[in-house]
């Protein structure tokens, strides 16, 4: 980073934000991940006041009394609860800035490819509440690739599969351009819901936090790893009382199979559209998995077998998107090259700034 960039970041940091359905991560170039919290907000029903954000709110999920409402304001990578999203983003940016003078930061946010202009506008308004000096957007898959350490400026093709809480973004990149992009609303939440539904069919109910733990502890793709059965607590629906149940990993694998199949089919769809020369590059560069879903046991091997393309998991896949966003914002040349890919909101915002400069010069 240049001297001017270092001085600027000392007082007005460059923040990359991954607004994930499951977790929101804030990354600052040079300082790494400075905030990583669950995307959960708790309200007091009587007056709609915010009482908890992040980890503290997640602890209340499924346990809070009737006077407290726990919500996840981000669904599928976009905003479903506008007020909750405002509180979440503003609180986390404040936490990121708490050790610095309160000067407006530059922020780059990541949006899924399936987000509409209206959904992007909602994200923009929510982030503006945190008071950024400059705000711009990049596609999630592009940020994930940069955060995974892929050189997207090369002429050789690169493919990234980012499996988040609400969406899976699949992209083939070359020369900082998106050759193919496919976004599906399948992610960690899909697997959690499928596991809970499968257990309910067997007359046993578990909450969302328990379903998530089962996925983490016993979830897999392809062949079962052969781990010991997992004991969980919940509600015995037949007896209508609390109970425990032994969950075999085969049951978990069967519950997750449909979502994993959708991800594999989305990868096939992208590969079918990829030009032959770039497709041949992928036999060498491979597929890189990012996001929390990349940690599913056996997923890399299963995708490799089903696509005939070598597949690896990125280092620290959970933070790749936020890390990539921070790197892009801190690299003027890379940000400039990615500008043509910016969504309409970014181009609209840039046009306003250009118009203001022209007005001042008259």
The per-residue pLDDT for range 232-250, each reduced to its tens digit, is: 999 999 988 999 999 999 9
Structural domains of the chain in order of their starting residue, each with its CATH number:
3-144+320-361 (3.30.420.40), 155-186+262-318 (3.30.420.40), 188-255 (3.90.640.10)
pLDDT over 70 at 352, yes or no: no
pTM score: 0.85
**Reported confidence tier of residue 345, pLDDT bands at 50, 70, 90:** very low
Q: In the chain, pLDDT over 90 holds for what percent of residues? A: 49
- Sheet of strand 32-38, all strands in order from the earlier edge strand to the far edge: 32-38, 23-28, 14-19, 106-111, 134-139
Q: Whose CA is closest to 19, among 39, 41, 42?
A: 39
Dist CA 37 CA 96 (whole Å): 11
The per-residue pLDDT for range 200-229, each reduced to its tens digit, is: 999 999 998 899 999 999 999 999 999 999
Dist CA 43 CA 48 (whole Å): 6
In this predicted structure, what is the pLDDT of residue 340? Answer: 53
In this predicted structure, what is the pLDDT of residue 77? Answer: 65
* Placement of tokens 């990234």 in the chain: 160
- Sheet of strand 230-236, all strands in order from the earlier edge strand to the far edge: 204-205, 230-236, 241-247
pLDDT over 90 at 284, yes or no: yes
The per-residue pLDDT for range 42-63, each reduced to its tens digit, is: 989 888 888 999 999 998 887 8
Dist CA 145 CA 262 (whole Å): 21
In this predicted structure, what is the pLDDT of residue 104? Answer: 75
In this predicted structure, what is the pLDDT of residue 108? Answer: 87
| pLDDT mean over 335-339 | 78
Higher pLDDT, 146 or 91: 146
């Amino acid at each position: 980073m240049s001297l001017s960039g270092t001085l600027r970041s000392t007082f007005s940091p460059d923040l990359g934000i991954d607004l994930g359905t499951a977790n929101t991560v804030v990354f600052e170039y040079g300082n790494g991940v400075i905030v990583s919290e669950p995307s959960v907000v708790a309200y007091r029903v009587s007056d709609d006041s915010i009482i908890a954000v992040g980890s503290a709110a997640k602890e209340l999920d499924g346990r809070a009394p009737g006077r407290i409402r726990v919500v996840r304001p981000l669904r599928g990578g976009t905003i479903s609860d506008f007020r909750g999203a405002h509180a979440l983003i503003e609180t986390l940016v404040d936490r990121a800035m708490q050790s610095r003078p309160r000067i407006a930061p530059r922020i780059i946010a990541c949006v899924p490819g399936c987000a509409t202009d209206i959904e992007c506008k909602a994200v923009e308004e929510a982030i503006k509440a945190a008071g950024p000096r400059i705000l711009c957007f990049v596609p999630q898959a592009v940020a994930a690739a940069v955060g995974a350490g892929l050189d997207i400026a090369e002429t050789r093709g690169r493919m990234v599969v980012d499996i988040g809480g609400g969406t899976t973004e699949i992209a083939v990149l070359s020369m900082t351009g998106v050759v193919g992009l496919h976004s599906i609303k399948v992610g960690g939440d899909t697997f959690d819901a499928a596991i809970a539904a499968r257990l309910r069919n067997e007359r046993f109910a578990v909450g969302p936090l328990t379903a998530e733990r089962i996925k983490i502890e016993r979830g897999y793709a392809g062949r079962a790893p052969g781990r010991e059965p997992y004991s969980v607590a919940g509600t015995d629906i037949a007896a209508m009382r609390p109970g425990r149940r032994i969950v075999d990993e085969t049951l978990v694998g069967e519950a997750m199979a449909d979502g994993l199949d959708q991800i594999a089919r989305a990868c096939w769809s992208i590969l079918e559209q990829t030009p032959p020369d770039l497709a041949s590059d992928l036999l060498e560069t491979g597929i890189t998995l990012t996001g929390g879903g990349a940690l599913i046991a056996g997923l890399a091997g299963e995708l490799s077998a089903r696509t005939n393309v070598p597949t690896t998991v990125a280092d620290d896949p959970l933070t790749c998107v936020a890390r990539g966003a921070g790197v892009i914002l801190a690299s003027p040349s890379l940000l400039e090259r990615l500008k043509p890919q910016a969504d309409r909101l970014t181009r609209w915002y840039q046009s306003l700034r250009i118009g203001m400069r022209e007005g001042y010069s008259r």
